[in-house]
Each structure stands twice: as structure tokens, then as C-alpha cells.
């Protein structure tokens, strides 16, 4: 069984990704390794932040690992909050503060189009690989629901009339941006493991 470190201290997020990857991959969170330090996120793009976190953990533990960075990109706000999604209202502010800032800036705006974008960066045998997951939708005019986290109460994915925050965990995971990116990594790992097990002549 292949073991990968997931560069997160959130065990719930680790469990979610473990369920997506199945039994062939064993996922460790940073909490499992008793690491409680901050992860660096100093860049202007999701790709650079994901790489920075993955390289930091890879160098620290000398193991294969992956990280993810996710942003909400709103058309009418020129892609904001994007890489600053978690701290859009300022450092130390809550998810509610972030949502309220988005709704204020979107007040009266007819173009509500937006997308969640997740980038997973995998470092496997010192090689870097990226996997992207995108879910398109719209920003609702009101906060609805109390499930999920982040901007879930104001994001309605395409093909639905419900915000992520009013969906069950199973409903959300079927269309989750993180799931799409992780599934792509899973397919890559299957191919990679297969080719390792059956080398060519």
C-alpha cells in the first residue's frame, strides 16, 4: 500500500480524501504526524501555493505527499477572491465575514457567474504533478444553509437550485471541485502504480 502525506491538519478533510482514494492509498494528515506548524502560502496563484506547501512537507518528512489550494473565482469581481478566498475580509476574519464582503461587492450585480477551482499538487518520487478540479455556478443573493464551510452558503452549482450548504455531504461530493481534482490524481496513481508493477522491456 502506498502512503501519501496530505499537507493539511484537518482530519475531516483527510478522511474525505481517503474515502475518495480508496484502500490502495493510505493518507496521513499532518495531525497524524504530530506536526502543528503553519504551512507557507506566500504566492499569488493557487498553483504556486499548492506547490509551496507540498515542497515544504516533502522536504520536512522526505515522503511522497500532496497538497491542495482552492479559490472561489467570481466573474464580476475579476476573479476575486481567488487565492485570497480564506482571508478575503482580512487575516483573522471568519468565513461569515468573507461571505458578507462578497455579497456587499456583488450587491445589484446581475452577472452572478462564479467557479470554485481546486489545484492538487502531488510530489511523487521527487516529480511534481498538478491536477485541477472546477465546478461552475452562481453566487446567490442571500446566505442559505449551514452545512459545509467557506462560501458554501452562497454558491449554487450548475444544474442545481440549492447552495452547497443546503446539500447533504453525499450530494456535494458528487460535484465537488476537490473530488474532481482528487479523482484525477487517483487515476494518475493507478496508471503510475501499474506501470511500476509491469515495467517494459
Q: For the segment 89-99, what is each residue's pLDDT rounded down to a tens digit?
A: 988 888 899 99
Looking at residues 113-132, what average pLDDT do you find? 96
pLDDT for position 193: 65
Q: In which band, very low, low, confident or very high, does the pLDDT at 199 lie, cut at 50, 70 and 90?
A: very low
Q: Catalytic: which of 32, 64, 69, 97? A: 69
Backbone angles phi, psi at 117, to 5 degrees: -130, 125
| pLDDT band for position 136 (cuts 50, 70, 90) | very high
What 8-state DSSP symbol labels residue 39? Answer: P
Q: What is the pLDDT of residue 80?
A: 96
pLDDT at 68 over 60: yes
* Spatial separation of the C-alpha atoms in residues 115 and 157, rounded to whole Å: 8
Tens digits of per-residue pLDDT, 10-55?
A: 887 888 899 889 888 999 999 999 998 888 888 999 999 999 999 9
123 or 147: which carries more pLDDT confidence? 123
15 is catalytic: no
Q: List pLDDT tens digits, range 149-193.
A: 889 999 999 999 999 999 988 888 888 899 999 999 999 998 876
Residues in CB range of 120: below 8 A, 6 or more apart: 50, 66, 67, 68, 130, 131, 132, 133, 181, 182, 184, 185
Say whether pLDDT at 195 is over 50: no
pLDDT at 147 over 50: yes
How far is the C-alpha of 104 from the C-alpha of 191, rounded, in Å?
A: 46
pLDDT of residue 190: 87
- Cell numbers that stand for 123 in this block: 510530489
Question: What pLDDT is recorded for position 197?
Answer: 37
Amino acid at each position: 500500500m502506498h502512503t501519501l502525506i496530505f499537507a493539511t491538519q484537518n482530519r475531516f478533510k483527510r478522511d474525505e480524501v481517503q474515502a475518495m482514494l480508496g484502500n490502495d492509498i493510505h493518507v496521513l494528515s499532518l495531525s497524524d504526524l504530530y506536526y502543528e506548524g503553519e504551512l507557507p502560502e506566500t504566492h499569488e496563484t493557487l498553483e504556486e501555493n499548492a506547490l509551496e506547501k507540498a515542497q515544504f512537507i516533502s522536504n520536512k518528512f522526505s515522503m511522497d505527499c500532496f497538497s491542495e489550494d482552492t479559490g472561489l473565482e467570481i466573474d464580476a469581481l475579476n476573479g476575486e477572491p481567488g487565492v485570497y478566498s480564506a482571508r478575503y475580509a482580512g487575516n483573522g476574519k471568519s468565513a461569515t465575514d468573507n461571505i458578507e464582503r462578497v455579497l456587499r461587492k456583488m450587491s445589484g450585480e446581475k452577472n452572478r457567474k462564479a467557479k470554485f477551482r481546486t489545484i492538487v499538487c502531488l510530489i511523487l518520487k521527487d516529480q511534481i504533478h498538478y491536477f485541477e478540479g472546477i465546478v461552475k455556478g452562481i453566487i446567490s443573493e442571500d446566505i442559505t444553509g449551514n452545512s459545509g464551510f467557506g462560501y458554501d452558503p452562497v454558491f449554487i452549482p450548475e444544474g442545481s437550485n440549492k447552495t452547497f450548504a443546503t446539500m447533504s455531504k453525499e450530494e456535494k461530493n458528487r460535484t465537488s471541485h476537490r473530488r474532481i481534482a482528487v479523482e484525477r490524481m487517483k487515476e494518475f496513481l493507478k496508471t503510475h502504480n501499474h506501470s511500476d508493477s509491469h515495467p517494459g522491456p
